[in-house]
Amino acid sequence: MPKKRVLVGMSGGVDSSAAAALLLEQGYEVVGATMDLLPDGPSPDLADAKRVAAALGIEHHVLPFQKEFEKEVITPFCGEYLAGRTPNPCIFCNRSIKFGEMVKAADRLCCDLVATGHYARIEFDQSLGRWLLKRADTRKDQSYVLYHLSQRQLSRVLLPLASYTKDEIRAIAVRYALPVAQKGESQEICFVKNQDYPSFVTAFTGKDTPPGDFVDEEGRVIGRHKGILHYTIGQRKGLGQSFGRHMYVSRIDPETNTVCLVESGREYFSGLTAARLNAVAFDRFPAAFEAQAMIRYQAKPAPCRVELTGEDRARVTFQTPQRAVTPGQSVVFYEGGTVLGGGIIDAGIPVQETDLPLEHT
C-alpha cells in the first residue's frame, strides 16, 4: 500500500517542525509548505522553515497567500476593531487559510492530507459517523481556535502533537538536530508590529476613531476617551486618566462613540449572545443543551446553558457570572474534552446585582 502524502504547514517554529519529523517517523510521505502571508516581504520564519525541511530531507513549497490573507483575515480584523469589537484573527486564519487554502494547495500538490503543529486531537466516531475535535492531552490545548473547522476539513487534517508536552516536542526537535529546536514562541499577532492595533488599523484602512466620552452605567459623562480603537472589554489599565478607583471597560458603543466604565465587580456578565455558529459534534445544534463554555483562548471553561434563538444565533447563560465577555471573540462549547462547536460573541448580557460573585457583593 503506498504511503499517504501529507502537506505539513511549516511556520518555522518548533511545533510544526516537530510535527513534520513525527509524521516521517510514522511512515508518511511528508511535504513541507510555508504560507507567505504578509505584504511587506517574506517573514524571517520562512528561512527557518526551509532550513528545517532541508534538515529533514523533505520537499518544501512556498504558498503565496497574501491576497487571500488580506481579504479573509486582515480586512475583517480591521472592520471588527472599527466597530468596537475585539476579534481573534487566528480563528479567521485557521478557517480560511490554514485549513482552507492549505487544503486546496494539498490537492494541487497531490497530497492526501494536511497537518499542522496545533495541539488538539481529531478522531472519527463510528457511532455518530462524524469527525470529532477534542482537547489535546496537555495544557497547551489549542482546540478553541479550531472550532470552526468543517467535517470536510477535519477529515483531511492530521494533528500529530496531541499527546505531547512542549518539552517533549523540543526534545524531538533536538533529537532530529532541527535548527529551530530552541526557538522561542511568539504570542503576537503576526501582521501587527509591536502589537499596536490602533496604529495598524488606521494605517491599513485610512480610518481612525475620534475622541469621545467615557460614561457610567447610567450614561453620565465621567471623562474623555481617545477613540474606541484603543479599548477592549475588561480593560482597566491605559484608560488615560484616573478616576480615584479601579474602573473597567464594560461596553463600547461606536454609534454614540462612548465607552462605558464600571467599578470593580460590575465587569461581570451573566451570559452572552452569539452568532455565526458552527456545530462540530452534530449536524446542527440542539434547540437547548448544557455545556462548558470558553469565552477566550485559555479561559477556564464555565458551565452554561445554550439556547438557540434563531437559525444562526444562540443565547448562553452562565451558572456563575463571567468577567469581560468580549464581542468579536469566540465562545466555544465543550462536553468534557469534546468540542461541540461555537460562534462569535455578539454581546454580553450584563450581570444583575443579585447575580454578582460573592466576593463582589
117 is in an annotated binding site: yes
* Backbone φ and ψ of 112, nearest 5°: -80, -35
Q: Taking a C-beta distance cutoff of 8 angstroms, is the pair 328, 307 a contact?
A: no
102 is in an annotated binding site: no
Q: Taking a C-beta distance cutoff of 8 angstroms, is the pair 31, 9 a contact?
A: no
Distance CA 344, CA 313 (A): 9
* Catalytic annotation, pick one of 93, 111, 260, 304: 93
1 is in an annotated binding site: no
Using DSSP, state whether 247 is helix, strand or coil: strand
For residue 245, CA distances in Å to 241, 259, 260, 261, 262 come to: 11, 17, 15, 11, 10
Q: What residues have CB less than 8 Å from 57, skipping those under 6 apart? A: none
DSSP 211: -
14 is in an annotated binding site: yes
* Catalytic annotation, pick one of 78, 90, 110, 190: 190
125 is in an annotated binding site: no
15 is in an annotated binding site: yes
Q: Taking a C-beta distance cutoff of 8 angstroms, is the pair 22, 115 a contact?
A: no
265 is in an annotated binding site: no
Using DSSP, state whether 168 is helix, strand or coil: helix
Distance CA 151, CA 239 (A): 43
9 is in an annotated binding site: yes
247 is in an annotated binding site: no
- 90 in active site: no
What is the grid cell recorded at 260?
462605558
Taken in order 229, 230, 234, 240, the sign of the CA dihedral is negative
Pairing of strands 247-253, 313-323: unpaired
- 190 in active site: yes
35 is in an annotated binding site: yes
* Active-site amino acid positions: 93, 190
Q: Residues annotated in the binding site, as ranges?
A: 9-16, 35, 117
Q: Residues annotated in the binding site for ATP, as ranges?
A: 9-16, 35, 117
